[in-house]
Amino acid sequence: MVQSVLILGGAKSGKSRRAQARAESWPGRHVYLATATAGDDEMARRIARHQAVRGELWSTVEEPLELAAALKRADGEDAVLLVDCLTLWLTNLLLMAGLDDAAVAGRCAELAGLVPRLAGRVILVANEVGMGIVPGDGLSRRFRDLAGWLNQQMAAACDEVILVAAGLPLALKSPAKDV
């Protein structure tokens, strides 16, 4: 049985919709772990839209920084945990917490080590940011590199990995097909 899934994709690729549908196909206590913060009116509207789409089935935990701790608190044998999204969490570690690369790497390694030990099932959503041009500034290159390393760690830690493009899934890793 699949216990952990990483769903990757670009902006507006359909990854969050696919993650929610997958999570809702599993029985249990559904917990949405949101990493976004409403820094402006437009983002507040996006968050409200996402909450409305989830509906009554879900309880929401907002945690922009301490994701591993939040997962531990929400975990349980009946838990279905959906983290949306790892890329925003990484942004928060860099910009809100001001962590250096070593501290970020430690947080990422902690999360990757935790996922296989969770009693419940978990779906993690992340942006695939490494398929475009090389960013022109240092912060953007740093972010792209850290996001790539985070995605690699999470892909190794998860039972299943799916890439979503234009709303269509491509299985990159499954229990029957380990690549």
Q: What is the CATH number of the domain that holds 158?
A: 3.40.50.300
Distance CA 45, CA 90 (A): 22
pLDDT grade, residue 177 (50/70/90)? low
In a domain, residue 165? The reply is yes
> What is residue 160's predicted lDDT score, i.e. its pLDDT?
97
Cα torsion 143, 33, 51, 79 to 10°: value is: 150
In a domain, residue 41? The reply is yes
pLDDT grade, residue 179 (50/70/90)? very low
In a domain, residue 178? The reply is no
Mean pLDDT of the chain: 94
Distance CA 167, CA 162 (A): 11
Structure token pair of residue 5 = 């899934």
In a domain, residue 179? The reply is no
Q: What is the pTM of this model?
A: 0.94
Structure token pair of residue 147 = 């996001």
Tell whether the model's pLDDT for residue 173 goes beyond 70: yes
Task: Work out whether the CA dihedral 48, 50, 52, 55 comes out positive or negative.
Answer: negative
Asked whether the beta carbons of 90 and 74 are under 8 A apart, the reply is no
Mean pLDDT, rounded, for 123-131: 95
Tell whether the model's pLDDT for residue 176 goes beyond 80: no
Domain housing 113 = 4-173
| Residue in 113, 128, 29 with CA at minimum distance from that of residue 79 | 29
Spatial strand order of the sheet with 4-9 comes to 58-62, 29-34, 79-84, 121-127, 4-9, 160-165, 168-173
Please list the active-site residues: 50
In a domain, residue 158? The reply is yes
Mean pLDDT, rounded, for 64-85: 98
> What is residue 27's predicted lDDT score, i.e. its pLDDT?
97
Distance CA 117, CA 115 (A): 5
Distance CA 13, CA 164 (A): 6
| 9-18 tens-digit pLDDT | 998 999 999 9
Number of domains the chain contains: 1
Burial of 125 (0-12, 13-18, 19+ CB in 10 A): buried
Mean pLDDT, rounded, for 149-156: 98
